[in-house]
Structure 1
Amino acid sequence: MMWSCASAGLVAGFLLAAAVVGLVGWALPGPWQATLVPGLVMFFPLWIGFAGAAFAFSSGRRAWLWLGGAALTGLGALWVLQASGWMQ
């Protein structure tokens, strides 16, 4: 169980942190270049937070389902925003 939770936190947590940083960067006013450095600064603590939160789940499967599902939802939202032309 420990290795599956750890892998969920590292892989799915990485993707979820990327999605959160991307969505927050898109939502803030101004050009995306202005949010690049703050986004990079916040990425690592978010990733570590999601990796730690993976161990709060009762099983590795649940960690993968929740973190992976959240990551797919966030990355899907970014893809929809880009495909619709709202984000470049």
Structure 2
Amino acid sequence: MWARASAGVLPGFFLAAALVGLACWLLPGAWQATIVAGLLAFFPVWIGVICAAFRFPSGARAWGWLSALALLGLGLLWLLQMSDWVR
């Protein structure tokens, strides 16, 4: 149980940040206009990821999937920034 909880807290934090960041950058308009909404949405998204971590059968799977998804999301954010698709 502790392994799944820590997987939801640590890589789940970065996964929630990536999800909210993608939502803020992919909405029309400047990302600065969505920063307050993104900050307000971050905590519920993070709590949702923590709750979803308990759906995994083991802590190792939770760590693996959440870490991979967080890296994928943050990598996608980096790719969008480097390709100048978002500003």
TM-score scaled by length of structure 2: 0.95
Aligned equivalents of 2:17, 2:86: Cα separation in 1: 16
* Percent of matched pairs sharing the same residue: 62
2:12 alignment partner in structure 1:
13
1:69 pairs with 2:81: no
Q: Secondary structure at the match of 1:56?
A: coil
Q: Give the letter for the 2:60 counterpart.
A: R
- Give the drift of 1:14: 0.5
TM-score scaled by length of structure 1: 0.94
Aligned equivalents of 1:83, 1:17: Cα separation in 2: 21
- Give the drift of 1:82: 1.0
Runs of 4+ in 1 over 6 A off after TM superposition: none
Where in structure 2 are the equivalents of 1:42-81 lying within 5 Å? 42-81=41-80
- Give the drift of 1:65: 1.1
1:28 pairs with 2:27: yes
Aligned-CA RMSD value = 0.8
- Give the drift of 1:60: 0.4
Aligned equivalents of 2:66, 2:39: Cα separation in 1: 20
- Unaligned segments of structure 1, at least 5 residues: none
- Unaligned segments of structure 2, at least 5 residues: none
